[in-house]
């Protein structure tokens, strides 16, 4: 399924849980038609991002070592991802938390658990509304 009329194609998803990565890959590539790259840590994302040049980055919030917000800070220092839109994925949806992420410059927040069949639509919706 090709998505016409927007420039959203390459999606980078950073997530420490291998099972979630596997299902996210299906949700983004097979269901959503994106070209997706999965990373298991913030450090890996920093390494991969310059070559991959993502159009959008999905960040899990709670990760060991570098958490979501820290990863965002590190990615912002790279030329390739200085302004790339970022969406946080989190199981804790609290108003204060959402506000905090938005103030960090995130485009939006998607609650976990996500539905693999509609994740891509949700991403496109947020992207089109705000980007």
Partner 1 sequence: MTTEAHDQLQKRLKLLQDRFVERAQSDVETLGRFARQIEQQQLSRLGLVECYQLLHRMAGSAGTFGLPKLGAAARSIENQLKPVVEARDRQTDSPDDPIALPADLAMQIHELTELVQKSDVQTKPETADEHSHQVEDAYEGSHGMQVQVMALAHDTGYLSGLMADLQGYGFACDLVSLSESRAAIENLKQRSGATILLCQDSDLADVLRFRTDHIEKNEHRRFPVVGIGRQNTFESLYRVAEQGATAYFSEPLDMPALAERIESLALERGSRPQGRVLIVDDDKELGERYCLVLNNAGMKTKLVSDPTKMMSALSAFEPDIVLMDVQLRAHSGVTLARMIRYEPRWLGLPIVYLSSEDNPEVQLDALAKGADEFLVKPVTDEYLVRSVRIRCYRARQLSDLMNRDSLTGLLKHSLIKQEVERELARCRRSGQFSCVVMLDLDHFKKVNDTWGHGQGDIVIRTLAHLLRNRLRESDTIGRYGGEEFLVVLSDCPIEQAEELIDDIRARFSELVFTSGDDSFQVTMSAGIAAINDFPLASEAIEAADQALYERKQAGRNGVTVYQRQDRDQDD
Q: Which of 31, 43, 74, 78 binds partner 1 (CB under 8 A)?
A: 31
Site for partner 1 in 57-116 (CB under 8 A): 62, 90-97, 111-116
Tokens of 124: 């496109």
Does 4 interact with partner 1 (rule: CB under 8 A)? no
For partner 1, the closer CB: 84 or 108: 108
The order of strands in the sheet holding 108-111 is 35-39, 10-14, 56-60, 86-90, 108-111
Question: Minimal distance in Å, beta carbon 66 to partner 1?
Answer: 16
56 contacts: CB under 8 Å, gap ≥ 6: 8, 10, 11, 12, 84, 85, 86, 87, 107, 123, 127
Instruction: Give contact residues for partner 1 (rule: CB under 8 A).
Output: 1, 17, 19-20, 22-23, 26, 30-31, 62, 90-97, 111-118
């Amino acid at each position: 399924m090709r998505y016409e009329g927007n420039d959203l194609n390459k999606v980078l998803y950073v997530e420490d849980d291998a099972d979630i990565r596997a299902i996210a890959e299906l949700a983004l590539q097979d269901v959503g038609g994106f070209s997706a790259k999965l990373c298991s840590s913030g450090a890996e994302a920093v390494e991969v991002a310059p070559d991959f040049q993502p159009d959008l980055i999905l960040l899990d919030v709670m990760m060991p070592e570098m958490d979501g917000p820290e990863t965002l800070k590190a990615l912002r220092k790279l030329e390739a991802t200085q302004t790339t839109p970022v969406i946080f994925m989190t199981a804790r949806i609290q108003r204060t938390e959402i506000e905090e992420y938005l103030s960090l410059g995130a485009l939006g927040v998607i609650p976990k658990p996500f539905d693999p069949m509609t994740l891509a639509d949700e991403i496109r919706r947020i992207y089109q509304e705000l980007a």
